[in-house]
Amino acid sequence: MRRHLPYCTSSFLGLLPFWILCTSSTNKCTVRHEVADCSHLKLTYIPDDLPFNITVLNLTHNQLRGLPPANFTRYSQLTVLDGGFNSISKLEPELCQNLPMLKVLSLQHNELSQLSDKMFMFCVNLTELHLMSNSIHKIQNNPFKKQKNLIKLDLSHNSLSSTKLGTQLQLENLQELLLTNNKIKALRSEELDFLGKSSLQKLELSSNQIKEFSPGCFHAIGKLFGLFLNNVQLGPSLAENLCLELSNTSIQNLSLSNIQLNRITNMTFFGLKQTSLTMLDLSHNSLNVIGNNSFVWLPHLKYFFLEYNNIQHLSSYSFYGLSNLRYLNLKRSFTKQSISLTSLPKIDDLSFQWLKCLEFLNMEENNIPGTKSNMFTGLINLKYLSLSNTFTSLKTLTNETFLSLAYSPLLILNLTKNQISKIESGAFFWLGHLKVLDLGLNQIEQEITGEEWRGLENIFEIYLSYNKYLRLTSSSFALVPGLQRLMLRRVALKNVDISPSPFHPLRNLTILDLSNNNMANINDGMLEGLEKLEILDLQHNNLARFWKLANPGGPVHFLKGLSHLHILNLESNGFDEIPVEAFKDLFELKSINLGLNNLNIFPPSVFDDQVSLKSLNLQKNLITSIEKNVFGPAFKNLSNLDMSFNPFDCTCESIAWFVNWINKTHTNISELSTHYLCNTPPRYHGFPVMLFDTSPCKDSAPFELLFMINTSVLLIFVFAVLLIHFEGWRITFYWNVSVHRVLGFKELEGQPEMFEYSAYIIHAHRDRDWVWEHFSSMEEKDQSLKFCLEERDFEAGVLGLEAIVNSIKRSRKIVFVVTEHLLKDPLCKRFKVHHAVQQAIEQNLDSIILIFLEDIPDYKLNHALCLRRGMFKSHCILNWPVQKERINAFHHKLRVALGSRNSVH
Ligand SMILES: *[C@@H]1O[C@H](CO)[C@@H](O)[C@H](O)[C@H]1NC(C)=O
Ligand SMILES: *[C@@H]1O[C@H](CO)[C@@H](O)[C@H](O)[C@H]1NC(C)=O
Ligand SMILES: *[C@@H]1O[C@H](CO)[C@@H](O)[C@H](O)[C@H]1NC(C)=O
Ligand SMILES: *[C@@H]1O[C@H](CO)[C@@H](O)[C@H](O)[C@H]1NC(C)=O
Ligand SMILES: *[C@@H]1O[C@H](CO)[C@@H](O)[C@H](O)[C@H]1NC(C)=O
Ligand SMILES: *[C@@H]1O[C@H](CO)[C@@H](O)[C@H](O)[C@H]1NC(C)=O
Ligand SMILES: *[C@@H]1O[C@H](CO)[C@@H](O)[C@H](O)[C@H]1NC(C)=O
Ligand SMILES: *[C@@H]1O[C@H](CO)[C@@H](O)[C@H](O)[C@H]1NC(C)=O
C-alpha cells in the first residue's frame, strides 16, 4: 500500500531482507472503507493482495494492457471498476461474469476500437458505462443488448460516424447518451430506432458535423427530453429544419450554443410550437437580428440563454410571447464592436413588457446608451437585475432613471462599472423592495446628503466601494436605518469625523468597510452604538496617531463598545503603538489583522479579552520578541497565525516561549520555515526561528539562580575576607560592645556622684609637663572639673596597678594624650590602655578622649596601642593646634568632650 512505501524505503537502510519482503508482498494502493485507489502507479498487473471485500477499484492512469478476468475473481464484490487512462485494447466477456455486482465500468482513454457483441454480455447490472476517448469507429450488431439497467452510456470522443448502436430495440432504461465529438454527419431515424423504448433526458451530440436531420429522426426515439447540439455548424436554415423535426416531441431542453445562428425569424422556432420547451440556449451565436414575434412559439420557455451575441436591435415585439420566462441572460448579447453612436445597440421602450414572469435579468457588459423611461416596464416579477457595465452614458442617476422599475419587486440591483458620477435625490425612490444595491466601481463624486437613499425602505446592503470621492454628513444614512452592510472602500472618504457620526443611525449594521481611504481623522464616537457590528475593515488608512500615547488627549479607543465584533482588519495603518485597552471587551473577536504595521512592543494583557480568537495576522511588523504575558491569551484557541517577516530576536528571553509553543500547537502557521527568520543576534541572522534550540533556555532559570547564588556567595565571601582583613578590628570592637550591652552592662550615666574625677589622664611619663601645665590650669578655671593626674594624685611611688584600676573606675572619662612617647611607654602599652579600653567597652565609647599632640598615623596607633581613630566619635578626637590662636578653641572642644554623655548613638 502506498503508505507503506516510506516505511519500506527507510527500512531498507538497516533491514534489506525485510525490504525485499515488503515490496514483493505489498503494492502501493491506498484502501479506505472498501475503496481501493491504485491510480497513478505505473501498474502493469492487477494487484492481487487487496482486501477481497473491496467494492471500488480505481486503476486509472497506469500501464495496463487488459483486465484479465481471472485476476478479478478475488474482487467479486466490486460495484465500481475504473480502468481509465490505460492501454486496454480488448475486454473479455468473463470479466463481468466474475464481477456480478458491477454497476459502473469505466474504460475511458484506452485503446478500444471495436465493441463485439459478447464484450458486455454478462454486464447485466451495469448502470453506467464510460467509453469516451477510445478509438471506436464502428459498432456492429448489438454490443449493448444486455444492458437493460444502463442509465448512462458515454461514447464521446470516438470516431463513430453514426448514432446506430444496435439493430434491435434495447437500452430501455437509458437516460443519457453521450456522443459528443464523433464523426456523425446525419441523424436518421433508422439509426436511432434502437432507442425506440428509451426516454432520453439527454442526447448529447455536440461537436459533430451534423448536416442532416432526416424526417422522423427524433420520433424514432421513445421520448427525447434534452438535445444538445452545441458547436454544430447548423446555421439558420438547418436550425429551422431541426425545430421542425422536433415538433411534437417531448423536447424540454434544447441547447444550440455556437451553431452560427446569426438571425432568427418568426419561422425559426416554428417547429417547436407543439412542444413544451422550457430551456433554450442560443449563446455564442453571433446572433445579429431577432425578428418580431420570433419566440411566439415558446410560451413554456423558462430559461433563455442569449449571452455573447451581436444583437443590433431589440424591438418591442422581439420577446413577444415569452410569457413564462423566469431567467434571461443577455450578458454581452448586444453589439460591442464599435463605440460609434450609429452602431450602438438599440433597445426599444417596452421591449421587456411581455416578460411578466421574469425574475432574473442579466444585462452585464453591453453597450447600451442609457435607460429610457419605459425600458423595464412590465417586468412585474423582476427580483434580480444586473446592469453591471451595461451603459455607455449613465453619468447621472436621476429620480427618473429607474422609473420604469417602479412596479418591479426588485431585490438586487447591480450598477457596477457604469462610470456613474452622480446620484441625485430620490434616484432609487421607486425601489422600495430593494435589499442589495451595488454601486461599486463607478466614478461617484459627491456629498452624500442622505436624500440619495430616499425610498429604500428595505435596503440591507449598499456597496459604494471604489468610487471617486465621497463626503459624508451626519445624515448620510439617516433614511436607511435598517442597513446591515455598508461598503465604502477606496472612495476618498471625507468628513468621517463629523459629530454625530454618519454611522450613528445604523444600529443594525453588521459589516462596515472603510478601508483604503487614507483616513487620518476620526473621533472616538465614530463607531459608537454599532453594537451589532461583526466585521470592520479599516485597513490601509492612517490611524497610527490615534493609538499613540502622545496623542493629545491620550489614545483614542475607537473600537470601544463593539461587543459583537468578529473580524477586525487594521492592516497597513502605520501603527507603532497599541494602547493596552485597544481591544478591551471585544470578547467575540475571532480574527485580527494587524499586518503591515510598525508594531514592536505590545503591552502585556493587550489580548486578554480575545478568548475566542481564531486568526491573528501580524506579518511584516517590527516584532522582535513574542512573550507569554502578551500573546498567551491570544494564542490559546488560535487556528491560524501569521507572524511572518518580523525581525525576530533569537534569544531565550525573546522567542523561547514562542518556539516551544510552535512545537506543541495545532495552529496553522504557513511558511514557518522560510518566512520566520531571526534578525538578531548577529550569529543567528537569517536562521529559521523554528530551528532555534530552546534546550539551553529550559535550564536557564535554575541555572541562572544557581549562578546568582554562587556569585553572591563568592562575593559575600570575598567581601567578608576583605572586611575582616581591613576592618576586623572594628567588628571585634563593636562585637564586644554589643556583647557587653546585651549582657546587661548598663551605662552608669545620671549618677555623676559615682565619679570622683572628671577624667583620668593617661600619658607618657615624658609628657607630664605638658599635661600638668594644661590640665591644672583647666581645673583652676572651671571648678567642676577634677582630673586624676598620676604625678599629683597618687602618692609618690605608689603607682600600683590596683590604684590605676581604681582611679580609672572612679573617672568619668579617660583621656589619652597621644604622642610618640605614649606609643613607646611600656606600662601604657601593656596595661593602662588595655584596661581603659575594657572600661570604655563596659561603659561606653564616649568615655575615651584622644588628644593628639603630634601627628600619629593610624597604623602606628593600632600597632602600639590596638586603638584606631575610627573606634571613636569625631568629637572625642582632638588635635593640639600648632597655631596659638586656636588653643582657646581646643580648650572649648575638650570641655565639650568631657561634658558629653557616655553613649553610642
Ligand atoms: C494475472 O494473474 C496471473 C497469475 O496470478 C499473473 O501471472 C498475471 O501477471 C496477472 N495479470 C495481470 C495483468 O495482472
Ligand atoms: C473487509 O475486510 C476487512 C479485512 O480484510 C475487514 O476489516 C472489513 O471489516 C471488511 N469489510 C466489510 C464491509 O466486511
Ligand atoms: C480514480 O482516480 C482518478 C484519479 O485519481 C479520479 O479522477 C477518478 O475520479 C477516480 N475514479 C473513481 C471511480 O473514483
Ligand atoms: C445483479 O445485482 C444483484 C444485486 O444488486 C444480484 O443479486 C444479481 O445476482 C445480479 N445479477 C447478475 C446477473 O449477476
Ligand atoms: C412572419 O413575418 C413575416 C414578415 O416578416 C410576415 O409576413 C408573416 O406573416 C409572419 N408570420 C407569422 C406566423 O407571424
Ligand atoms: C424629480 O425631481 C424633480 C425636481 O428635482 C421634480 O420636479 C420631478 O417631479 C421629480 N420627478 C419625479 C418622477 O418624482
Ligand atoms: C455585480 O456584478 C459584478 C460583475 O459581475 C460582480 O462582480 C458583483 O459581485 C455583483 N454584485 C453583487 C452584489 O452581486
Ligand atoms: C434592527 O433589527 C431588529 C431585529 O432584527 C429589528 O427589529 C429592527 O426593526 C431593525 N431596525 C431597523 C431600524 O430596521
Q: Is 121 in the pocket of ligand 4 (CB under 6 A)?
A: no
Contacts 24+ apart (CB under 8 A), 457-461: 457/432, 457/482, 458/432, 458/433, 458/434, 458/482, 459/434, 459/435, 459/483, 460/435, 460/436, 460/484, 460/485, 461/435, 461/436, 461/437, 461/485, 461/486, 461/487, 461/511
In DSSP notation, 688-754 reads BGGG---HHHHTHHHHHHHHHHHHHHHHHHHHHHHHHHHHHHHHHHHHHHHHHHHTT----TT-GGG
The arithmetic mean of pLDDT across residues 680-691, rounded, is: 90
| pLDDT value of position 893 | 78
* Ligand index nearest the alpha carbon of residue 33: 2
The neighbour count for residue 903, using CB atoms within 10 Å, is: 12
Pick the residue whose CA is nearest to atom 9 on ligand 5.
266
| pLDDT value of position 649 | 92
Pick the residue whose CA is nearest to atom 10 on ligand 6.
399
Query: If you ran DSSP here, which 8-state letter would residue 56 be given?
Result: E
| Centre of ligand 3 from the C-alpha of residue 44, in Å | 18
Relative to the CA of 296, which ligand 5 atom is closest? Answer: 14
| Centre of ligand 5 from the C-alpha of residue 266, in Å | 6
At residue 755 the predicted structure's pLDDT band, cuts being 50, 70 and 90, is confident
Q: Is 899 in the pocket of ligand 4 (CB under 6 A)?
A: no
Relative to the CA of 64, which ligand 1 atom is closest? Answer: 13
| pLDDT value of position 276 | 94
| pLDDT value of position 770 | 76
User: 107: closest CA among 130, 123, 125?
Assistant: 130
The arithmetic mean of pLDDT across residues 163-173, rounded, is: 92
| pLDDT value of position 344 | 81
At residue 888 the predicted structure's pLDDT band, cuts being 50, 70 and 90, is confident
Ligand 2 — pocket residues by CB below 6 A?
Answer: 34, 51, 53
Asked if omega into 100 is within 30° of 0 (cis), the reply is no
| pLDDT value of position 705 | 60
Integer Cα distance of 222 and 173 in angstroms: 11
Cα 521 to Cα 222, 282, 514, 582, 793: the distances in Å are 74, 54, 12, 18, 99
Pick the residue whose CA is nearest to atom 5 on ligand 2.
51
Tens-place pLDDT, residues 704-724 = 565 566 667 777 776 777 766
Task: Report yes or no: 48 and 66 within 8 Å, Cβ to Cβ.
Answer: no
| pLDDT value of position 12 | 38
Q: Is 436 in the pocket of ligand 7 (CB under 6 A)?
A: yes
| Centre of ligand 8 from the C-alpha of residue 646, in Å | 44
* Ligand index nearest the alpha carbon of residue 484: 8
Tens-place pLDDT, residues 214-248 = 999 999 999 999 999 999 999 999 999 999 999 99
Task: Report yes or no: 459 and 480 within 8 Å, Cβ to Cβ.
Answer: yes
Q: Copy the grid coordinates of residue 300.
A: 413554456
At residue 26 the predicted structure's pLDDT band, cuts being 50, 70 and 90, is very low
Q: Is the pTM of this model over 0.75?
A: no
User: 280: closest CA among 258, 263, 302?
Assistant: 302
Q: Is 800 in the pocket of ligand 4 (CB under 6 A)?
A: no
Q: Is 60 in the pocket of ligand 3 (CB under 6 A)?
A: yes
Q: Is 416 in the pocket of ligand 7 (CB under 6 A)?
A: yes
Pick the residue whose CA is nearest to atom 14 on ligand 8.
482
The arithmetic mean of pLDDT across residues 673-699, rounded, is: 87
Tens-place pLDDT, residues 346-393 = 899 999 999 999 999 999 999 888 888 899 999 999 999 999 999 988
The residue whose CB lies within 8 Å of the most ligand 7 atoms, and thus the one to mutate among 438, 461, 511, is: 438
Tens-place pLDDT, residues 725-752 = 666 666 666 666 666 655 554 444 445 5
Relative to the CA of 270, which ligand 5 atom is closest? Answer: 13
The arithmetic mean of pLDDT across residues 577-602, rounded, is: 94
| pLDDT value of position 809 | 76
The residue whose CB lies within 8 Å of the most ligand 7 atoms, and thus the one to mutate among 416, 435, 466, is: 416
* Ligand index nearest the alpha carbon of residue 440: 7
Query: What average pLDDT does the structure give for the chain?
Result: 86
User: 535 Cβ partners below 8 Å, 6+ apart?
Assistant: 510, 511, 512, 513, 565, 566, 567
At residue 694 the predicted structure's pLDDT band, cuts being 50, 70 and 90, is confident
Pick the residue whose CA is nearest to atom 1 on ligand 1.
71
The residue whose CB lies within 8 Å of the most ligand 6 atoms, and thus the one to mutate among 396, 397, 399, is: 399
The percent of residues above 70 in pLDDT, for the chain, comes to 87
Integer Cα distance of 625 and 602 in angstroms: 10
Q: Is the pLDDT of residue 860 over 70?
A: yes
Task: Report yes or no: 46 and 22 within 8 Å, Cβ to Cβ.
Answer: no
Relative to the CA of 508, which ligand 8 atom is closest? Answer: 1
| Centre of ligand 1 from the C-alpha of residue 51, in Å | 17
| Centre of ligand 6 from the C-alpha of residue 816, in Å | 120
Relative to the CA of 53, which ligand 2 atom is closest? Answer: 1
Tens-place pLDDT, residues 613-625 = 999 999 999 999 9
Q: Is the pLDDT of residue 11 over 80?
A: no
The percent of residues above 90 in pLDDT, for the chain, comes to 62
At residue 330 the predicted structure's pLDDT band, cuts being 50, 70 and 90, is very high
| pLDDT value of position 208 | 95
| pLDDT value of position 23 | 38
Q: Is 371 in the pocket of ligand 4 (CB under 6 A)?
A: no
At residue 703 the predicted structure's pLDDT band, cuts being 50, 70 and 90, is low
Relative to the CA of 403, which ligand 6 atom is closest? Answer: 13
| Centre of ligand 8 from the C-alpha of residue 276, in Å | 45
The arithmetic mean of pLDDT across residues 617-635, rounded, is: 92
Rg (CA), the chain: 53
The arithmetic mean of pLDDT across residues 776-790, rounded, is: 78
At residue 610 the predicted structure's pLDDT band, cuts being 50, 70 and 90, is very high
Q: Is 364 in the pocket of ligand 7 (CB under 6 A)?
A: yes
Q: Is the pLDDT of residue 262 over 80?
A: yes
Relative to the CA of 54, which ligand 2 atom is closest? Answer: 1
| Centre of ligand 3 from the C-alpha of residue 39, in Å | 7
| pLDDT value of position 777 | 78
Ligand 6 — pocket residues by CB below 6 A?
Answer: 399-400
